[in-house]
Amino acid sequence: MISLNEVAISFHNVCYEIDHLSILNNINGEFYKGKITTLVGPSGAGKSTLLKMCNGLLSPTTGDILIENKPVHFYEPTTLRKSVGIALQSAPIIRGTVFHNLSLPYTLQHKSLLESDAISFLEDVGLDHTFLQRQAEDLSGGQKQKVSIARSLLNRPKILLLDEITSALDPTSVYEIEQLILNINQKFGVTIIWITHNIEQAKRIGHYTWIMMEGQLLETGESKILSSSTNGKIQQFVSGVQQ
Ligand SMILES: Nc1ncnc2c1ncn2[C@@H]1O[C@H](COP(=O)(O)OP(=O)(O)OP(=O)(O)O)[C@@H](O)[C@H]1O
C-alpha cells in the first residue's frame, strides 16, 4: 500500500529580496508532517532565511507559504510562534535556574509552569529533576542546548525548526541531541526542519533533505539524494564538505 505524506508547510514560488538583492529565488517545495527534513547547502545559500519564513519571522517578497494549507499571514503571530517552535545554534540562556529558563515562554504569557510539568519536559530531553534548581549558565554546552530544546517544546509545537543546533558540540553531545530529536519526532509526531552543515548527520537523521545553493532549491527528496544525486554541483558540494 502506498502511504501519501501529508504536507505541513509548502512553499509556492517564494522569492525574498533585500535592497534589490535576491536572497531566495523561486522556492517551491513541501515539508511533510511528522517527518524530519534536513536542510543543507553552502554558507550563504539562504537556509536560515528560509527557516525564518516558516514561523513568520520573515515574509516572502513574492510568493506564498502555506502552513497546514493556510497562508502564514492567516495565523495570529503569537499562535504561529506557539505551533512552530525554533531552537538555534547558540542556545539562548538567561541568568537564573534551569526552572527559571524553562518557565520563560509561560512567564511571557503570564502563566506559571508547574514544577511537575517542568520535570516532565526535562525528562523529555534526557535531564533528570536534579537539574531544575541548577544555575543554567553553569551547564555544559550540550546541557544548555537540551534546556533550550525543552523550552521550545513548552507550547507543544507541531513543527520544530532547528538551526545548526549541534555544530558547537562535542561528539557525545551531538549523538545525545540527535537521539532526543528522533525521540521527540517519534513520541509527539513533531515535524522537524533541521539545518545542518554535517552531511552525515543530514543522512542519518533526515527522512528527507532539501539541498540549497545560491538562494535556489537545487534538489529535494529522501536523504539518500545526498549520496545518489547525479547533479554535479551537489556531488561537488557533498564531497567538498566531507573532505
Ligand atoms: N538582513 C540582511 N541584509 C543583507 N543580506 C542579508 C541579510 N540577511 C541575509 N543576507 C544574505 O542572504 C544570504 C543568505 O543568508 P542565510 O543566513 O540565509 O544563509 P545560510 O545558508 O543560512 O548561511 P550559513 O550556513 O552561513 O548560516 C547571505 O548572502 C547573507 O549575507
Segment 134-169, tens digit of pLDDT: 999 999 999 999 999 999 998 899 999 999 999 989
| pTM for this prediction | 0.92
Q: For residue range 96-132, what is the model confidence (pLDDT) as tens digits? A: 999 999 999 888 888 899 999 999 999 999 999 999 9
- Distance CA(139)–CA(130), nearest Å, equals 12
Q: How confident is the model at residue 3 (pLDDT cuts 50, 70, 90)?
A: low
Among 7-16, 105-114, 219-228, the minimum mean pLDDT is found in 105-114
Q: How far is the CA of 68 from the centre of ligand 1 (A)?
A: 27
Residue keyed to cell 509548502: 10
Ligand 1 pocket: which of 15, 22, 40, 47 to mutate (most atoms within 8 A of CB): 47
Q: Burial-class residue 211 by CB neighbours within 10 Å (0-12, 13-18, 19+).
A: buried
Residue 197 CA, closest ligand 1 atom number: 25
Beta partners for residue 64, in sequence order: 12
Atom 17, ligand 1: which residue's CA is nearest?
A: 48
What's the whole-number average pLDDT of the chain? Answer: 93
Asked if 194 contacts 162 with a C-beta cutoff of 8 angstroms, the reply is: yes
The superfamily CATH assigns to domain 7-242 is P-loop containing nucleotide triphosphate hydrolases (3.40.50.300)
pLDDT at residue number 105: 86
Sheet holding 159-163, edge to edge: 84-88, 159-163, 191-195, 36-40, 208-213, 216-222
Closest Cα to atom 24 of ligand 1:
43
State pLDDT tens for residues 37-66: 999 999 999 999 999 999 999 999 999 999
* Ligand 1 mean position, distance from CA 62 (Å): 18
| pLDDT for 63 | 97
Task: Report the candidate in 160, 142, 153, 141 with the shortest Cα–Cα distance to residue 39.
Answer: 160
| 106 CB burial (10 A radius; 0-12, 13-18, 19+) | middle
Q: How confident is the model at residue 226 (pLDDT cuts 50, 70, 90)?
A: very high
Provide the residue ranges of all domains of the chain, joining segments of one domain with +.
Answer: 7-242
Q: 49, 88, 166, 195: which to mutate for ligand 1, most atoms within 8 A of CB?
A: 49
Residue with the three cell numbers 514561523: 55
| pLDDT for the residue numbered 90 | 86
Q: Which grid cell is 74? A: 492567516
With a cut of 80, say whether residue 2 has pLDDT above it: no
**Which residue shows C-alpha cell 523529555?**
124
Grid cell for residue 147: 534546556
Mean pLDDT of 178-198: 95
Q: Which residues line ligand 1 (CB under 6 A)?
A: 18, 23, 41, 43-49
Higher-confidence residue of 89 and 186: namely 186
Place of cell 558540494: 237
Q: Is the pLDDT of residue 242 over 70?
A: no
